[in-house]
């Protein structure tokens, strides 16, 4: 076939042109075989740049286009589209990265130009073996799965449901609400957390487009963007959700007392319980680990007293299969366990608390109904709050947890409000009050008489009678000091959920170095992931306060809606293909395919690749014993790859004969 | 300010790494068991070096008081080895004559000389040599205490010596 290739070299402003001699490169490329036209231009990706390509395709009747510019993940699709608009099949195009792989990694003009020459000539020699490919269109299932029913998940669910699409929320706990439900007030406006969250939770429960699956976990994920199949295991509540009216008679009678996880273990709940008074759904759950019937085989008191006969000890785990178009992960965060920092004495000294414990302590619905009473029954008069416990510390978490400064100040405010005669100290390294109204809140707390001391606490020691001594250096005075306190509060770091790793594996979403879900691009694609059709929202992507989590929930919803409303998605045709005439039907490819795309066709006794399932990983191609002519990877055929190598590898070269 | 030393310290990679990493949180200062005797806290010493006040840092007694217990290094949130930093500063101080008149450095030097000479350390010999170098009158003051210690057998007058000391000398 007679090839007519056009080559376009981008200056990328000075990004490329300051290191690669683009004029020399263009002259060199013009001499290559089959190259009809070679040009360079300051910004190939700009409209006029694309126009040049389009005009040339028509004028010179080009069969192939090579663009040497930035990374193909950046502008590959831009130029493919330009080719398509000029009537050329987009797969007759090849991109060369002479920015990230050439100009950005060296200052040596000579060597850079040489390397650029090699790469461009390799692409020219490759592109001549390209075949036109057609994109595969797949319909998108019109529903979304949201994993996690915290504020980010709730916001995303409501946005999607209100636009008329179906949403499934899978929540691990018996109630939605997440971390926000545990909070008393929210900084900096001091709204009552429950007052602003509960209406949203009720809306979730009453929205006909939302299916709420609580006390459940995702076990298996298969499929691909637009067509995910998710297996969910709903743990047995041992209470029939359709019958339970949430009257609470069962819990009153239940004899088994268990530390209340929701209240951070500060008081006890019963083995049959509702997480918190505003729980959604308003249903009771039996904690089978502590229920006397499950541990000792006796009791069943709750069953006797239930007026609607909702208690059912025979419930079994239920498997639910969901078919959805897209997935939003909003699993939230865990709090750092400060007992590993031995010198702060958490777990050893009873009056050392974590921030979230104090949050429950000051909460009107908490274990003390909002009264600040220490574990030894005293009311504290001197309180020290230690910042950066587990954050900004290379021994634990290097990152700044972003929310601790603000919640520490909020707690200081609440303590001052409840105990006006108390003295509250904040030991900080730097105050990070970055959000809207946050700096003002900092000032307000300072003016309320909270004493801010710049210095990280070195040690907390007990001095008798439950009183504690905190030793630190006041770094602004340059003096080592100690404060005797009744209560020490540790502003602990936010860290990834314990099961984030497992979910990351299930949904094929990478984790960042700290273990949070990795977004596709930190600035330009903050809620997308490299796993297409899987989005992230809230603190599972990195520590986040409520405003940011809500914003991300809404952003993830809009990404998910864009996916659903497109109706069909284009799947890259860069996939494997079987030559039925050569296939011996050995089925090795079927056993190696990680996506279940290769199947055995009994009729023709050969392997078949299911187009929409194939991700183009190439595993089957490499495993095929009768070679790549039998099982071929479109877009990465032997001719194409060898053609590329022929120009890059040093001479003397092996003469390749084109088979295409 | 001594320009030459400033340059020397600024180009010392080990010291450079310390002053660049420090977040000035003060954990080291408050963890130090000897902090109350220091004129500058360890954190301040790092700040002095960072801001180029090398002269002041080398004149400080802080590094001489450091017992290299490394509690600061264990707790440091940015994993600075402050003990090693102190040792480096001490070396610069000795090399450049900052420590000649400091009692701490004299004590250190006496100690090292004794070890070099005998391979072992004798408290009696150490205190006598050190006091003779600094304040001989102090020896008289210590007599009653040392008599008590001698009687209890805690202090010994004998001087132990390692055999064939040249074999272990580097």
Q: Over the stretch A603-625, which tens digit does the pLDDT of each residue have?
A: 889 998 888 778 888 889 989 98
CA distance A475 to chain B (A): 6
Same domain, B109 and B37: no
A198 and A258 co-located in one domain: no
Q: Could you tell me the residue range of the domain that residue A341 belongs to?
A: 334-495
Reported as a single tens digit per residue, the pLDDT across A34-60 is 999 999 999 999 999 999 999 999 999
Reduce the DSSP state of residue B71 to 3 states and report it.
helix
For residues A465 and A423, the answer to whether their CB atoms sit within 8 Å is no
What are the tokens at A476?
A: 């602004």
Between these two residues, A486 and B131, which has the higher pLDDT value? A486
Residue of A243, A216, A77, A229 lying closest to A149 (CA atoms): A216
Residues A346, A468 within the same domain: yes
Q: Do A480 and B79 make contact, defined as CB atoms within 8 angstroms? A: no
Cα separation, A112 vs A512, in Å, equals: 32
A352 and A263 within one domain: no
Q: How far is A472 from chain B (nearest CA, A)?
A: 5
List strand residue ranges (DSSP E) for A325-381, in order: 326-329, 333-335, 352-354
Average pLDDT over residues A367-393: 95
Q: Which two tokens stand for residue A387?
A: 């910042």
* Per-residue confidence (pLDDT) for residue A654, from 0 to 100: 56
Instruction: State mean pLDDT over A371-398.
Output: 95
pTM reported for the whole predicted model? 0.82
Mean pLDDT of A347-371: 95
In a domain, A655, yes or no: no
Terminal Cα distance for chain B, rounded: 36
Cα gap B166→A325, rounded to integer Å: 80
- Structurally, chain A folds into a number of domains equal to 5
B110: containing domain? 103-168
Q: By the 8 A CB rule, do B155 and B124 touch?
A: yes
Q: Is residue A654 part of a domain?
A: no
User: Measured on CA atoms in the order B13, B19, B21, B27, is the torsion positive or negative?
Assistant: positive
Q: Which of B68, B95, B122 finishes a domain?
A: B95
Which residue, of B95, B125, B145, is where some domain finishes?
B95
**What stretch of H or E contains A24?**
helix A22-30
Same domain, B82 and B124: no
Quick one: tokens of B124? 């009696």
Contacts of B78 in chain A (CB under 8 A): 393-394
> Residue A446 has which token pair?
């300072």
Position A107 pLDDT exceeds 50: yes
**Do B23 and B61 lie in a common domain?**
yes
Q: Per the structure, how many domains does chain B have?
A: 2
Cβ neighbours for B117, distance < 8 A, ≥ 6 positions apart: none
Residue A650: pLDDT over 70? yes
- In angstroms, rounded to a whole number, what is the distance separating the alpha carbons of residues A218 and A565? 25
Looking at the structure, tell me whether residues B75 and B155 fall in a common domain.
no
Q: List residues of chain B with CB under 8 Å from any CB of chain A.
A: 23-27, 29-32, 35-36, 40-41, 43-44, 75, 77-79
- Say what the pLDDT of residue A61 is: 93
Confidence of residue A660 (pLDDT cuts 50, 70, 90): very low
A456 with B44: Cβ contact below 8 A: no
B83 and B109: one domain? no
Kindly state the tokens that stand for B168.
Answer: 């272990």
In a shared domain, residues B91 and B107? no
Q: Report the DSSP pairing between strands A333-335 and A494-496.
A: antiparallel
Residues of chain B with pLDDT under 50: none
- Claim to verify: residue B14 and residue B88 sit in the same structural domain: yes
Name chain B contacts of A473, Cβ cutoff 8 Å.
26-27, 29-30, 35, 41, 43
Q: Which residues contact B19 (CB under 8 A, 6 or more apart)?
A: B46, B49, B50
Put simply, the answer to whether A478 touches B36 (Cβ < 8 Å) is no
Pair (A359, A432) in one structural domain: yes
Predicted local distance difference test score (pLDDT) of residue A472: 97
Q: Which of A77, A93, A127 is the last residue of a domain?
A: A127
Distance CA A461, CA A558 (A): 51
Check residue A324 and give its pLDDT: 97
Residues A157 and A12 in one domain: no
- Give B29→chain A minimum CA distance, Å: 6
Residue A229 β-bridge partners: A222, A323
Residue A27 sits at the chain B interface (C-beta within 8 Å): no
pLDDT digits (tens, 9 = 90+) for A221-277: 988 889 999 999 999 999 999 999 999 999 999 999 999 999 999 999 999 999 999
Distance, in Å, from the CA atom of B159 to the CA atom of B156, rounded to the nearest integer, reads 8
Shared domain check, A216 and A173: yes
In a domain, residue A197? The reply is yes
pLDDT of residue B135: 82
**Two tokens at B107?**
């004590």
Region A464-471 average pLDDT = 94
Assess if residue A660 is contained within a domain.
no
Question: Which among A473, A476, A479 is the top mutation candidate for probing chain B, defined by the most B β-carbons within 10 Å of its own β-carbon?
Answer: A473
Do B64 and B147 lie in one domain? The reply is: no
Please report the pLDDT score of residue B6 as a whole number.
73
pLDDT digits (tens, 9 = 90+) for A561-607: 999 999 998 888 888 989 888 898 899 999 998 877 888 988 889 99
- Here the tokens at position A141 are 């299932």
> Distance between CA A245 and CA A264 in Å, rounded?
26
Q: Does residue A138 belong to any structural domain of this protein?
A: no
Are residues B39 and B120 located together in one domain of the fold? no
pLDDT at A658 over 80: no
Q: Do B90 and B7 reside in the same domain of the chain?
A: yes
Output the CA angle A258-A264-A270, nearest 5 degrees: 20
State the CATH number of the domain containing residue A75: 3.40.50
Please state the length of chain B.
170
**Residues A491 and A347 occupy one common structural domain:** yes
Strands A487-492 and A382-389: parallel
Q: Which residues of A touch B35 (CB under 8 A)?
A: 473, 480
Dihedral angle computed from the Cα positions of residues A364, A369, A371 and A372, in that order, rounded to the nearest 10 degrees: -90
For residue A609, give the CATH number of its domain. 3.30.70.20
Task: Evaluate whether A232 touches A217 at the Cβ level (below 8 Å).
Answer: yes
Tell whether A463 and A481 lie within a shared domain.
yes
Which CATH number covers residue B34?
1.10.1060.10
DSSP state string for A409-459 = HHHHHHHHHH-TT-EEEEEESS----STTHHHHHHHHHHTTPEEEES-EEE
* Any domain includes A467: yes
Is A659 a residue whose pLDDT tops 60? no
Model pLDDT, residue A627: 80
Task: Indicate the residue among B95, B122, B151 that finishes a domain.
Answer: B95
Tell me how far apart the alpha carbons of residues A329 and A414 are, in angstroms, rounded to a whole number: 33
In the predicted structure, residue A71 carries a pLDDT above the cut 50: yes
Note whether A264 and A400 are same-domain residues: no
* DSSP annotation string for A372-411: ---TTSPPPSEEEEEEEESSS-TTS--S--SSHHHHHHHH
User: Can you tell me the mean pLDDT for A618-646?
Assistant: 87
Give me the CATH number covering residue A181. Answer: 3.50.50.60
Domain-embedded: residue A265: yes
Contact criterion met (CB < 8 Å) for A395 and B77: yes
Average pLDDT, chain A: 93
Domain endpoint, select from A495, A520, A544:
A495
Report the DSSP pairing between strands A606-609 and A451-454. Answer: unpaired
Pick from B30, B46, B53, B81 the residue to mutate for testing the A interface (most A CBs within 10 Å).
Answer: B30
Residue A533 lies in a domain: yes
Contacts B36 to A, Cβ<8 Å: 480
Report whether A170 contacts A232 (CB < 8 A): yes
Nearest to A394 among B24, B40, B78 (CB): B78
Tell me how many degrees the CA angle B143-B144-B149 measures, rounded to the nearest 5.
95
Phi-psi region of A300 (alpha: psi -120 to 50; beta: other; left: phi over 0): left
A405 and A475 belong to one structural domain: yes
Together in a domain, B134 and B87? no
Q: Tokens 């864009």 appear where?
A: A562
Residues B90 and B115 placed together within one structural domain of the fold: no
Residue of A185, A176, A172, A140 whose CA lies nearest to A156: A176
Quick one: closest CA in B to A428, which residue?
B25
Confidence of residue A195 (pLDDT cuts 50, 70, 90): very high
Q: Do A122 and A150 lie in a common domain? A: no
A75 and A199 in one domain? no
Distance CA B96, CA A325 (A): 73
3-state secondary structure of A273: strand
pLDDT digits (tens, 9 = 90+) for A503-539: 999 998 999 999 999 999 999 999 999 888 999 999 9
- The chain A residue lying nearest B79, using CA atoms, is A394
Residue after which a domain boundary falls, among A565, A597, A617: A565
């Amino acid at each position: 076939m007679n090839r007519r290739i056009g080559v376009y070299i981008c200056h990328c402003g000075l990004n490329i042109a300051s290191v690669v001699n683009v004029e020399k490169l263009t002259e060199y490329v013009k001499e290559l075989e089959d190259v009809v036209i070679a040009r360079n231009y300051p910004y190939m990706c700009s409209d006029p740049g694309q126009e040049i390509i389009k005009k040339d395709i028509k004028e010179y009747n080009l069969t192939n286009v090579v663009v040497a510019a930035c990374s193909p993940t950046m502008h590959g699709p831009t130029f493919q589209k330009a080719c398509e608009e000029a009537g050329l099949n987009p797969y007759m195009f090849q991109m060369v990265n002479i920015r990230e792989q050439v100009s950005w990694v060296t200052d040596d003009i000579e060597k850079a130009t040489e390397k650029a020459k090699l790469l461009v000539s390799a692409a020219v020699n490759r592109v001549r073996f390209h075949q036109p490919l057609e994109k595969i269109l797949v319909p998108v299932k019109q529903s979304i799965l949201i994993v996690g029913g915290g504020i980010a998940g709730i916001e995303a669910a409501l946005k999607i449901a209100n636009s008329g699409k179906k949403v499934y929320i899978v929540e691990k706990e018996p109630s939605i609400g997440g971390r926000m439900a545990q909070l008393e007030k929210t900084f900096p406006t001091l709204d009552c957390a429950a007052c602003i969250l509960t209406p949203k939770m009720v809306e979730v429960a009453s929205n006909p487009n939302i299916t709420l699956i609580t006390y459940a976990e995702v076990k298996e994920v298969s499929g691909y963007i637009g067509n995910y199949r998710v297996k969910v295991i709903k743990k047995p509540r041992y209470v029939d959700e359709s019958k339970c009216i949430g009257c609470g008679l069962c819990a009153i009678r239940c004899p088994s007392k268990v530390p209340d996880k929701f209240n951070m273990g500060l008081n006890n709940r019963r083995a049959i319980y509702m997480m918190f008074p505003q729980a959604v759904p308003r249903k009771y759950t039996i904690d089978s680990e502590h229920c006397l019937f499950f541990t000792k085989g006796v009791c069943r008191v709750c069953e006797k007293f239930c007026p609607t006969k909702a208690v059912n000890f025979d419930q079994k785990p239920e498997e639910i299969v969901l078919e959805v178009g897209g997935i939003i992960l909003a699993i939230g965060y865990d709090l750092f366990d400060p007992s590993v920092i031995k010198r702060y004495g958490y777990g050893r000294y009873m009056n050392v608390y974590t921030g979230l414990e104090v949050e429950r302590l000051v909460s009107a619905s908490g274990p003390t109904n909002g009264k600040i009473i220490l574990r030894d029954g005293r009311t504290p008069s001197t309180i020290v709050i230690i910042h950066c416990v587990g954050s900004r510390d290379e021994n634990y978490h290097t990152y700044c947890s972003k929310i601790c400064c603000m919640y520490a100040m909020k707690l200081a405010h609440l303590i001052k409000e409840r105990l006006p005669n108390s003295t509250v100290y904040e030991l900080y390294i730097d105050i990070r009050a970055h959000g809207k109204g946050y700096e003002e809140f900092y000032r307000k707390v300072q003016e309320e008489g909270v004493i801010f001391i710049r210095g990280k606490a070195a040690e907390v020691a007990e001095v008798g009678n439950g009183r504690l001594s905190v030793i630190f250096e006041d770094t602004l005075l340059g003096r080592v000091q100690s404060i005797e306190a009744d209560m020490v509060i540790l502003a602990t770091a936010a860290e990834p959920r314990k099961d984030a790793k497992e979910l990351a594996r299930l949904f094929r979403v990478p984790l960042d170095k700290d273990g949070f879900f990795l977004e596709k691009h930190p600035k330009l694609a903050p809620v997308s992931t490299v796993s297409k059709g899987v989005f992230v929202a809230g603190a599972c992507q990195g520590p986040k306060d409520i405003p940011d989590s809500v914003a991300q929930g809404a952003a993830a919803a809009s990404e998910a809606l864009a996916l659903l409303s497109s109706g069909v998605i284009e799947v890259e045709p860069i996939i494997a293909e079987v030559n039925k005439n050569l296939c011996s039907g050995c089925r090795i490819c079927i056993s190696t395919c990680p996506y279940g795309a290769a199947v055995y066709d009994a009729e023709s006794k050969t392997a078949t690749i299911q187009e929409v399932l194939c991700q183009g990983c190439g595993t089957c191609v490499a495993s095929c014993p009768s070679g790549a002519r039998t099982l071929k990877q479109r877009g990465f055929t032997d001719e194409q790859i060898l053609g590329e190598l022929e120009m890059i590898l040093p001479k003397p070269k092996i003469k390749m004969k084109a088979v295409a | 300010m001594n320009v030459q030393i400033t340059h020397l310290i600024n180009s010392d990679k080990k010291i450079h790494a310390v002053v660049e990493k420090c977040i000035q949180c003060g954990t080291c200062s408050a963890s130090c068991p000897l902090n109350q005797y220091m004129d500058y806290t360890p954190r301040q010493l790092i700040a002095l070096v960072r801001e180029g006040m090398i002269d002041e840092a080398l004149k400080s007694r802080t590094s001489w008081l450091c017992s290299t217990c490394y509690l600061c290094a264990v707790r440091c949130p940015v994993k600075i080895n402050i003990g090693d930093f102190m040792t480096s500063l001490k070396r610069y101080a000795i090399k450049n004559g900052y420590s000649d008149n400091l009692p701490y450095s004299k004590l250190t030097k006496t100690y090292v000389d004794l070890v070099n000479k005998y391979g072992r350390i004798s408290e009696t010999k150490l205190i006598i040599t050190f006091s003779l170098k600094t304040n001989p009158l102090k020896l008289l003051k210590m007599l009653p205490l040392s008599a008590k210690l001698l009687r209890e057998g805690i202090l010994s007058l004998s001087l132990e010596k390692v055999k064939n000391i040249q074999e272990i000398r580097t």
